[in-house]
Amino acid sequence: MKISAEEIKKTARQAKFDITEDEAGLYAAQLTSVLDWAEQLQSVDTSAIKDTALVPAPLRADEAVVNPAAPDIVAAFNDKENNLLKVKKVLGPVDII
């Protein structure tokens, strides 16, 4: 599966990453190589291999636990309201391209 440098640049813009033309070309080649390898894996005959997706995993009790350090963390935080910590916005407008 061929990934173009344009697709890499578009994805970088959406993720708000600055990349150079050289990096876009390098990443496109590397990602294409990985996807080609994954495509090859699809052709491997696994019919004789026992399915392991249905093996039950041991479960633990689902218990709520209070972090004993929580009051210290809240007390050390500069910007808070009640017991909620205020942080800077990390998401901005999304460019739909």
Q: Which residue has the tokens 């460019």?
A: 95
Give exposure, 4-13, as e/b (b: 16+ Cβ within 10 Å): ebeebbebbe
How far apart CA 51 and CA 72 sit, in angstroms, is 48
Does the pTM exceed 0.85? no
Taking the mean position of all CA atoms in its chain, how far away is CA 44?
27
Mean pLDDT, rounded, of the chain: 87
pLDDT tens-digit map of 54-87: 777 788 888 888 889 988 888 888 888 877 888 8
Q: Tokens at residue 51, please? A: 């399915």
Q: What does the alpha-carbon distance between residue 10 and residue 13 come to, in Å, rounded to a whole number?
A: 5
Per the DSSP assignment, residues forming a β-bridge with 85 are: 80
Q: Where are the domains of the chain?
A: 5-42
